[in-house]
Amino acid sequence: MQCPISEPWHAGKWVEDTPPDQLEPMWADWEAYPWRHYYINELAQTLDGSYVMLQRWVVARGQMEVEVYLVDQNMVWTALFGG
């Protein structure tokens, strides 16, 4: 189902006000890496080695983008290895 957005403020309101659990829960690059699936509220490591918590998927300028929260690496190490 396609739903065109006619006003920029409408898109911003939709992105900011919709709870993540009511949006797409997963994204995959079906052409390049069909075996990799990324889920919201999942911890992911970026190419530069930092960790992020995935929040929501958004198509912007015709390209899929993700909203994330940066995670402190010390917190990740403690959570995974207990200190």
Q: pLDDT value at position 1?
A: 46
Instruction: Quickly state the pLDDT bin for 48 (edges 50, 70, 90).
Output: very high
Which amino acid is residue 35, in one-letter code?
A: W
Q: How far is CA 40 from CA 7, 10, 13, 25, in A?
A: 26, 23, 19, 5
pLDDT in tens, 16-30: 677 766 766 777 878
Integer Cα distance of 15 and 27 in angstroms? 16
pLDDT score of 7? 56
* pTM, entire model: 0.60
pLDDT value of position 39 = 82
Query: Is pLDDT at 2 greater than 70 in this prediction?
Result: no
Q: How far apart are CA 70 and CA 50, in angstroms?
A: 8
Domain ranges in the chain are 24-81
Most confident of 28-32, 44-48, 69-73: 44-48
